[in-house]
């Protein structure tokens, strides 16, 4: 368990995988999580408003997220798949301004990943996309949903207006708004 104040937090692992049980940053700034090998599990990452969260997982074991909440933006890049830690209806990733995900082997492969953000951008290399965006604001901008090898399932719950800029898949696409 890590609790930090000030302008930032950097968590880095160069060994064989990483588990972050609980990390909290009080105040704004940047939270930077880097994993070099194996898998990455983020059970709970709570940050102050205005905080940017950047997660880089180079391990092909994949990334599991229980809860990332409180920040303005979240960016996740993983060489594996991005999935929720435990299937549940609760929000897994919450960011007021934007959520950007690049996951080589898919997003929500095991169960749909629950998001909450006014802007969503998701790209996968060799897997599907299955997400529910629970943002309840006036509008949502979906910049990209790109699954170069796999189906796309996107469900929008709560927002009055949804704009979609780009959709690309080699499989089926299901959009519910």
| pLDDT class of 171 with cuts at 50, 70, 90 | confident
Quick one: average pLDDT of 70-93? 94
Contact 86, 63 (CB under 8 A): no
Average pLDDT taken over every residue of the chain: 90
Residue 4: pLDDT over 70: no
| pLDDT class of 17 with cuts at 50, 70, 90 | confident
Quick one: average pLDDT of 55-64? 92
- Bigger pLDDT: 19 vs 74: 74
Contact 70, 51 (CB under 8 A): yes
Q: Work out the angle at residue 146's Cα, subtended by the Cα atoms of residues 140 and 150, and round it to the nearest 5 degrees.
A: 125
Number of CB atoms found within 10 A of residue 89's CB: 9
Residue 152: pLDDT over 80: yes
**42-51, 85-94, 127-136: least confident range:** 42-51
Confidence (pLDDT) at 160: 77
pLDDT digits (tens, 9 = 90+) for 92-143: 999 999 999 999 999 999 999 999 999 999 999 989 999 999 998 889 999 9
pTM of the model: 0.94
> Any long-range contacts for 75-80 (C-beta under 8 Å, 24+ apart)?
75/99, 75/100, 75/101, 76/100, 76/101, 76/102, 76/103, 77/101, 77/102, 77/103, 78/40, 78/102, 78/103, 78/104, 78/105, 79/104, 79/105, 80/39, 80/104, 80/105
Q: 167 is written with which tokens?
A: 């959709």
Confidence (pLDDT) at 64: 96
Confidence (pLDDT) at 6: 65
| pLDDT class of 48 with cuts at 50, 70, 90 | confident
């Amino acid at each position: 368990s890590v609790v930090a104040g000030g302008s930032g937090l950097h968590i880095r692992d160069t060994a064989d995988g990483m588990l972050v049980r609980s990390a909290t940053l009080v105040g704004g700034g940047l939270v930077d999580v880097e994993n070099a090998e194996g898998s990455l599990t983020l059970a709970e990452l709570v940050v102050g408003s205005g905080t940017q969260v950047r997660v880089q997982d180079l391990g092909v074991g994949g990334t599991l997220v229980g809860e990332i909440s409180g920040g303005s933006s979240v960016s996740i890049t993983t060489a594996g798949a991005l999935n929720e830690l435990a299937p549940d209806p609760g929000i897994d990733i919450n960011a007021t301004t934007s959520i950007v995900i690049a996951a080589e082997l898919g997003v929500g492969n095991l169960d749909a990943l629950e998001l909450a953000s006014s802007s969503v951008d998701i790209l996968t290399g060799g897997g599907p996309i299955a997400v529910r965006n629970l943002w309840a604001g006036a509008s949502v901008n979906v910049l990209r949903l790109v699954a170069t090898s796999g189906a796309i399932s996107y469900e929008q719950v709560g927002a009055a207006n949804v704009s979609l800029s780009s959709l690309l898949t080699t499989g089926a696409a299901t959009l519910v708004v």
